[in-house]
Structure 1
Amino acid sequence: MAKRCITLDEVSQLLEDCEEKYLEATVCVLPPNTSQLSDEDEGDEDVANAGNVTVADVPGELEVEMVGEDMEDDTLFENEGDDAETEENQPSTSSAPPAKRPRKKKCPAPSWTKQKKPAFPKTSALNGQAAGVAENNLRQTLAQHNPVQLFEEFFSPEIYDLICKETVRYSTDFRNDHEFHTSTEEVKVFHGILIITGYHKVPSEADYWSDAEDLVVPIAKNAMSRNRFQKLKSYIHFVDNSTADSNIGDRSFKVKPLFELLNENFCKFGCFTPNISIDEMIVKYYGRNSLYQFIKGKPIRFGYKYWAICSSEGYCYTFTFYCGKETTATDVPLGSRVVLNAVQHIADPSSYALYFDNFFTNMDLLSQLADRGFRATATIRENRINRTCPMKSSKEMKKSDRGASEYVYDRTSEVLLVRWHDNNIVTVATNHDSIEPLHDVKRRVKGQKEKSTVKMPNLIYNYNAYMGGVDHHDWLVSKYCVSIRGKK
């Protein structure tokens, strides 16, 4: 059994009451949930002296886990809220208890066949016409722009006006600083200094205004004083905090107006590349906030998680802030919701091909995308394929030679599955692509000193070529990552 307490007094009383019932108990301090309206720390990092206990003697909650003879698997949480059971251990979007998930609709039974060149009636050949038109319009519009004008196409005057208005409102209404005023030009200077810190790094923030010859950055020092910069940094806001009550279900309301304007600017030229990748990206953050994520195995493991749709060259069309588990009852998996929401702004599906990884993929999603005219190719997890699938299992495939492949076509969902033996066993599903032509690729084969040529199916070759758009975007952004840190 596990219980959550607020103070050490509650923990002590709980242990005394349950001393005879349970064999052992473990007490741990949980990190606090940062308030949506707070711009300051909730308390000291060090726990207060246990001999002088107060109501707020620890910044977060205390969890007591007790193990007894009759109750090892039962779990009960007090003060449940955002830390209750969530989707993939992510924070919940509301403190209200999640609604019951409706029963999943029964899907038609698959009809498997060994068909190497299936016809995909719902997704005809990729024409790329809309992408070509969008690219031509983009080139004509931006051909004569200098770098500053190109930047302002995305960080438009409306964004600077929003920041200026909400920053002044915050300083007046919430900081009681009625003498503070700023302008869009000053906000531009502030933003410019942040950009400079992305590629001109010094040991600390104050060193940008240092008098030392080896530290000083004249362009920053002459543009704005250090005190003014830090004051503007502490007041910067993008939304009216008084609207918190009306946005109680939206945990991203603090930055939502800014993100809406940025997304509008990013996709105003349309989708100008025929191949689009959908994936998650992380914005690095190490502070205290209930929305930050940890994703094992990623280049950036700690930070805020976004769903992004990018071109294969790394241009971000739109992005969405992930705020945790939704409380709205739905039988649609998270991955399917992300993909279907991400492609809503695409007007001509026949001009584009989508690529995403196995986090999002299931057979039903590929079938739904085909019904809407979208071509899609994605890796898929073995446990998301119907058990009646006649393909060899991954264990059996590992016994085959490197480069061996297995394929099967489901006539019900019109999805082709291909399993290929690479460094590991990979399974790829598509609603439009083909196995042939086979491509020659170099791979190391056991027992041979030099790399050997093996055959790679065409759909896997295309997936490798076009899937990395979001990762390429992250790589480009990392080269200019702002080095000045803040608590917000």
Structure 2
Amino acid sequence: SDRHSSSETTAKPIKTGRFQNDDKAYVYEAPECRGAELRPSVNIAVTYMSHRAFSLKIRMKNCPLEYFRKFITPEMLELLKEQTNLYSVQKSANHNNVNTMVKELEIMIGLYLRMGLCHLAGNRAYWENDTRCPMVADNMSRNCFQNLLATLHFTDNTDIKQGQAEDKCWKIRPWLDMFRKQCLDITPEEHNSIDEQMMPFRGTRSPIRQYVKGKPHPWGLKIWSRCSSSGILCDFAIYEVGTGKKSLLGMGGDVTETTNYFPTIFFLQHHWCSTFFNERSTMWELCLAGCQLEDDKSLAKRGRGSVDARVEKEERMVIVKWYDNKSVTLISSYCAVEPQDNAQRWSKADKAFVEVRRPHIVKEYNTFMGGLDLLDACIVRCKYHIRSRRWYIYLFWHTIMLGLVNAWLIYRCDCKQLGVQNTLKPLASFFARGFVLEFQMMFTLLSKRVRVGVPDDVRTDQVAHWPVKCDKRGRCKLCKINATTTLCEKCDVRLYFTEE
């Protein structure tokens, strides 16, 4: 029969044990594909984020450092402190303990973020005379920094539980689980995207290193990530190579199922998955359950912009196949072909841009699929590469950068919602200054020509703000009128004393 016929066709689904309605026959039809007519028949109560990620009471008077501490929590740093001290005793022949503290680890993280703003050839260059960085060298000695890097640890090597060794990331799993829990506390936005993220790594010691052709960094560790359309990371899963389990849905299908993104295909709600949608065998044999769409040759004869669609009658799931340079198949529960628009696409034959008809579902996909790309772009801006023989240390620094970018993006969303003017400084400068200033006496960040205000959480912490006398008189930081020789030793600002 003609594909535009209104007659119903019954297709028997393939039984895989993956769907809840395993014995049900799905009925497809060729509809008018009006976007307003398509609604999911299964109503799922979902609360979406409206630029407020945490239910905790974070007010704009707080420094962005408080946002960062919602991802890298004191409990995580306490775990890092205990395991680092334990590992230093186990590693040393003389059983020497580095005896680090949480505050010292926070300073180390702050120095790492500062290194990302000022890249040098190696770690030791920040302490050398020719290339010395005052903010780094004045707040921690080189030997202390190197010792912490060499002894960072996350779990006890002598207490391996049953089945723990099967996890290829077991040495950093406690840290990853705690960080993932903080990401899951974020109330998701309405539109989310699931895509693969490559963490650059060319070492040979990692059992999960992969080569993915076509990526900007083809060698690295693959991380499946779920991001909002604004780039905020909501969930992630480290891809472990060679688990030995037989896959029925394919890699993309297994990721979406095991991470509970969509329990079945009929629970898709404003989530976009590039790999899941592009795996033709996965969708065609398992998910589409016998739905017959027009083949690529027929669509190619009709020209670029041709489209074919079907709708499952009971569940109201639309399946759209669109042909541009190649065919792409998409599934949705809330949008379809209409309303179509024109998209500017490059034509190799004409060597110019041409207008191609584009379904509404493709436009929605292109609009909300770039969350992970935005996240990666922010990470690249201020990430510093520290070499290590232990491959899982790279994952640790990667989570630090993920927490940094998440905190910054949420902070900017809050600024926009509350109407607070947002200073467009480098995103790592807030956190680097905050970690160092909170526990150190004095530092110099910028040259004399440019003075940067002290973060509010450091200025009001009531710790070590000692008044000292200086030789030169200067204007008071608050009143700007009276001159004084009294200086705050920690904030490095002049303050005038009154009778009150």
Q: TM-score band, normalised by the shorter chain?
A: 0.5 to 0.7
Q: Do the aligned partners of 1:314 and 1:472 also contact (CA within 8 Å) in 2?
A: yes
Opposite residue 68 of structure 2, the aligned amino acid is: F
Match of 2:138 in 1: 222
- 2:64 pairs with 140, 147, 150, which one? 147
Indicate whether 1:156 and 2:73 are aligned.
yes
Indicate whether 1:463 and 2:365 are aligned.
yes
TM-score by length of 1: 0.66
Opposite residue 227 of structure 1, the aligned amino acid is: N
Give the SS at the match of 1:269: coil
Whole-angstrom CA distance in 2 between matches of 1:406 and 1:455: 13
Q: Do the aligned partners of 1:130 and 1:351 also contact (CA within 8 Å) in 2?
A: no
* Shift, 1:207, TM fit: 0.8
Match of 1:183 in 2: 101
Q: Do the aligned partners of 2:268 and 2:333 also contact (CA within 8 Å) in 1?
A: no
Offset from partner CA, 1:87-136 (integer Å, 9 cap, x none): xxxxxxxxxxxxxxxx9458756544211337656447899x71146738
Indicate whether 1:431 and 2:333 are aligned.
yes
Give the SS at the match of 1:281: strand
Offset from partner CA, 1:296-316 (integer Å, 9 cap, x none): 111221111111111011110
Offset from partner CA, 1:432-455 (integer Å, 9 cap, x none): 322111122222346656533332
- Tell me, which stretches of 5 or more residues in structure 2 are unaligned? 1-14, 391-500
Q: Do the aligned partners of 1:380 and 1:428 also contact (CA within 8 Å) in 2?
A: no
Indicate whether 1:454 and 2:356 are aligned.
yes
Whole-angstrom CA distance in 2 between matches of 1:163 and 1:338: 29
Opposite residue 329 of structure 2, the aligned amino acid is: T
Q: Do the aligned partners of 2:41 and 2:314 also contact (CA within 8 Å) in 1?
A: no
Indicate how the Cα distance of structure 1 residues 479 and 430 shifts in structure 2: closer, same or farther if over 3 A, else same.
same
* Shift, 1:352, TM fit: 5.2
Residue correspondence of structure 1 range 158-307 to structure 2 within 5 A: 158-176=75-93, 177-212=95-130, 215-244=131-160, 246=162, 247-271=164-188, 273-288=189-204, 289-307=206-224
Offset from partner CA, 1:265-287 (integer Å, 9 cap, x none): 2232322x100111111111111
* Shift, 1:149, TM fit: 1.8
How many residues align? The count is 362
Q: Do the aligned partners of 1:172 and 1:178 also contact (CA within 8 Å) in 2?
A: yes
Match of 1:371 in 2: none
Whole-angstrom CA distance in 2 between matches of 1:330 and 1:403: 34
Opposite residue 468 of structure 1, the aligned amino acid is: G
Opposite residue 419 of structure 1, the aligned amino acid is: K
- Tell me, which stretches of 5 or more residues in structure 1 are unaligned? 1-102, 361-377
Q: Do the aligned partners of 1:312 and 1:469 also contact (CA within 8 Å) in 2?
A: yes
Q: Do the aligned partners of 2:30 and 2:310 also contact (CA within 8 Å) in 1?
A: yes
Give the SS at the match of 1:207: helix
Higher relative contact order (CA closer than 8 Å, sequence separation 6+)? 2
Whole-angstrom CA distance in 2 between matches of 1:303 and 1:114: 44
Offset from partner CA, 1:340-369 (integer Å, 9 cap, x none): 3434699xx999511101x32xxxxxxxxx
Whole-angstrom CA distance in 2 between matches of 1:417 and 1:294: 32
Whole-angstrom CA distance in 2 between matches of 1:282 and 1:227: 32
Give the SS at the match of 1:282: strand
Indicate how the Cα distance of structure 1 residues 329 and 278 shifts in structure 2: closer, same or farther if over 3 A, else same.
same
Match of 2:280 in 1: 381
Opposite residue 456 of structure 1, the aligned amino acid is: R
What do you get for the CA RMSD once the two structures are aligned?
A: 3.2
Q: Do the aligned partners of 1:134 and 1:269 also contact (CA within 8 Å) in 2?
A: no
Match of 1:314 in 2: 231
Match of 2:309 in 1: 407
TM-score by length of 2: 0.65
Opposite residue 116 of structure 2, the aligned amino acid is: G
Indicate how the Cα distance of structure 1 residues 379 and 411 shifts in structure 2: closer, same or farther if over 3 A, else same.
farther
Offset from partner CA, 1:144-198 (integer Å, 9 cap, x none): 3212222222111111111110000001123343343111111112112222222
Match of 1:395 in 2: 297
Q: Which moved more, 1:439-448 or 1:116-125?
A: 116-125
Q: Do the aligned partners of 1:308 and 1:470 also contact (CA within 8 Å) in 2?
A: yes
Taking only the aligned residue pairs, the percentage that are identical comes to 22
* Shift, 1:320, TM fit: 1.4
Q: Do the aligned partners of 2:39 and 2:333 also contact (CA within 8 Å) in 1?
A: no
Match of 1:68 in 2: none
Give the SS at the match of 2:165: coil
